[in-house]
Amino acid sequence: MGKYRVAVDVGGTFTDVFVFNEEKGEIAVTKVSSTNDNPARGILDAVKKSLVPLDEITIFSHGTTVGTNALITRRLPKAAFIATKGFRDVPEIRRGTKLDLWDTYQDVAPPYIQRRDRFEITERVDYNGQIITPLNEQEARELVRILKKRGVESVAVGFMNAYVNGQNEQRMKEILQEEIPGIYVCTSSETLPEIFEHERISTTIANAVLGPLVSNYIQELSASLNDDGYDGDVLVLHSGGGVMTSETVPRYAARLASSGIAAGAIASAHIAKLCGFQSAIGLDMGGTSTDISLMYDGKVRVTKDWYIEYGYPIGFPSIEILTIGAGGGSLAWIDGGGSLRNGPQSAGATPGPACYQQGGTEPTNSDANLVLGRLGTELLDGQMSLDKSKALEAIRKIAEPFGYTEVEAANAIIKVANANMCDALRLISVRRGYDPRDFALVAFGGAGALHGAHLAKEMEIPTVIVPPHPGITSAMGCLLVDVRHDISKTYLKNIIDVSLTELENEFIRMEIEAADLLAEEGVNEGDSQLIRFIDMRYTGQWRSLSVSISRPITSLEQALEQFHKEHEREFAFSNRQQSVEIYGLRVAATGFVPKPDLQVEQPEGNLSDAIKGSRQVYFEESGGFIESTIYDRIILPVGSIFFGPAIVDQLDSTVVIPPDFIAEVDSCKNLILTYKDMEAKS
């Protein structure tokens, strides 16, 4: 009988494994280096290292960067795009905007499908869904012969106004499948039936180019796991904070483009709630980047405005995550104006920071933390040695141009990295109308706990939560999610003209589609939940806000009031006299997956038993190096309280507790850090 639940998070530097023993309630964690050339092999290596028998695994869930990396590196299958005549260049025209408005020389990345592989065909549907010109089937078959000759593996079909009536798109799909058996076809009316043609077509193209790739990846991984004894579904985390089985991954492949980073947001929200916080900011700092998420009033923020590369939006609902190039391996460098910069370039897994002794020579955040004494000379419980002399050598590349000592340069590098992360924290909180002082900061990832306390102090966040296994937290998040699908459609009407019966019927049709998807995933009806959302906006506005609505619909008054309140919070403005229109409808379908119950532990042992020794650690607020106690995280007893300066070592991370912080171990072995001055004010 199976007794283990296993979650794997594939990162740019490490692949993390989180194992939960259902019988004993015990947790085990493992880290191995990622195999970016073949992520499936890295997953198998990680599972084998965890020593868990595959035939005893009940649930296997994972987050993957396969889709993300494929879009960034453009290692994509041969794909084509078919558009209505005259609209071949919608993917290239985009919105005509740039990430940096003032940078004349910065170009937006080229489309995922180049112009030579984009084709036009005769057909026309009007704004109301009436077919003005049926699909020209003779043209369609001639075009398919060209695609077949070119060896096209995947096709995106995006016709104008297909979001209202996808009949012509569906016929084009049928012809493609008749003429080229086995070809992957993705239509915009099935993928994202929403009004804005660029967003709809961009999402369809992303889905099409990733479809064959992620399908092959999932099939390879599933086959390998099955050969070794696992006979269950391989669950894959998607952008919306849920999981899909291998059955539906090909249909919604683009949702895997932010698979890995969503797990951390889910885990941080769960941990914050366990600690009694309904509002929290998640700080997931790894080797290459930092991912920041926000939970307010028990709900993680969701957005439909996201992308892997600017200019090519993916319109599926996604947990809102702000990613910046700030990780343990981020490079420190001097720009043309003589200013110190940090990231987004990274040393990555290979060659890694200079102190890793794998060929890296450029200064990184990890090298700076080692020079400052915040990192010890061993990681992963002694499995990895760090060379301080190589770190000093790399840091000199920054120190000498500025006339700094190596320590001053290392401190400057960390301060710039922290400033970058504080800017990102302000973007996701203050800019959204939230006061950071009302939140807790959940610091995790391999490097999050190194920087979390100083970031909280700068942002006046009163509490920092460091999970029991910071570096494996994202992997744990993969076991805390449910099967989830989001069905959406455009529905444009002024709220005073809406028929509740018509609106109810629209939702019922969407719910049937959502229930069918859950059934395909093997979810029983009793283990599912359907939640309705309405996108609303003031008449004449472009952007909309999503609010929930009851089942069945008896009135729109409560939804309207909720919209006004959300608009006031988000934009500091609302107008109850202004007319409001409905822009779109959405159904979130959830199939509940059993989750591990994390054990609550009782106080046992003495704090003194956890002391490993001490070392000199640099803290600018103390004027330089100061003797700091080193604790072993595994031995820290529940209920213990101690003061900074201190360092807490463990397998997957290092926690820095500055001199002006108090640390407490709660009943779930989370480490709660509180800024002394902030505590006094409260």
Q: Hey, what amino acid is at 636?
A: L
Choosing from 361, 384, 413, the residue where a domain stops is 413
Rounded alpha-carbon distances, angstroms, from residue 244 to 29, 218, 233, 408: 24, 11, 9, 49
Picking from 379, 394, 413, the residue at the C-terminal end of a domain is 413
Flag whether 606 is in a domain: no
Find tokens 């060929």 and name the residue: 359
CATH number of the domain where residue 205 is located = 3.40.50
Residues 80 and 171 in one domain: yes
Q: Tokens 């000592």, residue?
A: 405
Residue 534 lies in a domain: yes
Domain span including residue 363 = 349-413
Same domain, 208 and 116: yes
Report yes or no: 659 and 677 within 8 Å, Cβ to Cβ.
no
Q: Are residues 82 and 183 in the same domain?
A: yes
**Segments of the chain with pLDDT less than 50:** 680-682
pLDDT in tens, 639-648: 999 998 999 9
For residue 552, give the CATH number of its domain.
3.30.1490
State the DSSP string of 418-475.
HHHHHHHHHHHTGGGT--GGGSEEEEESTTHHHHHHHHHHHHT--EEEE-SSGGGHHH
Q: Which residues of 537-559 are buried (b: 16+ CB within 10 A; e: fewer)?
A: bbeeeeebbbbebeeebeebeeb
Instruction: Mark which of 397, 413, 429 sits at the end of a domain.
Output: 413
522 & 389 share domain: no
Do residues 89 and 173 both lie within one domain? yes
Q: Residues 489, 390: one domain?
A: no
Say whether the peptide bond before residue 344 is cis (omega within 30 degrees of 0).
yes
Burial of residue 87, with CB atoms counted within 10 A of its CB: 0-12 exposed, 13-18 middle, 19 or more buried:
middle
pLDDT, residue 12, reads 64
Q: Is position 302 within any domain? A: no
| Other beta carbons within 10 Å of 28 | 16
Give the containing element (helix H, strand E) for 551. none
Tell me: do 79 and 179 sit in the same domain: yes
Q: Quick one: pLDDT at residue 382?
A: 63
Three-state SS annotation for 211-268: HHHHHHHHHHHHHHHHHCCCCCCEEEECCCCCEECCCCCCCCHHHHHHHHHHHHHHHH
Predicted local distance difference test score (pLDDT) of residue 484: 84
Residue 682 in any domain: the answer is no
**Residue range 343-357, pLDDT digits in tens:** 888 887 678 899 998
Establish if 418 belongs to a structural domain: no
Domain count, the chain: 3
**Termini Cα distance of the chain:** 52
The SS3 call for residue 667 is: coil
Q: Are residues 385 and 496 in the same domain?
A: no
Yes or no: say if 460 and 437 are a contact pair by the CB < 8 Å rule: yes
> Could you tell me if 528 and 406 lie in one domain?
no
- For 219, 435, 436, 557, 567, the CA distances from 573, given in Å and listed in that order, are 50, 17, 20, 19, 6
pTM (global) more than 0.75: yes
Domain for residue 387, yes or no? Answer: yes
Quick one: pLDDT at residue 660? 92
d(CA 660, CA 82): 61
- Does residue 573 sit within a domain? yes
Asked if 17 contacts 29 with a C-beta cutoff of 8 angstroms, the reply is: yes
Judgement on whether residues 101 and 206 belong to the same structural domain of the protein: yes
The verdict on 196 and 77 lying in the same domain is yes
530 assigned to some structural domain: yes
Q: Do 498 and 397 sit in the same domain of this protein? A: no
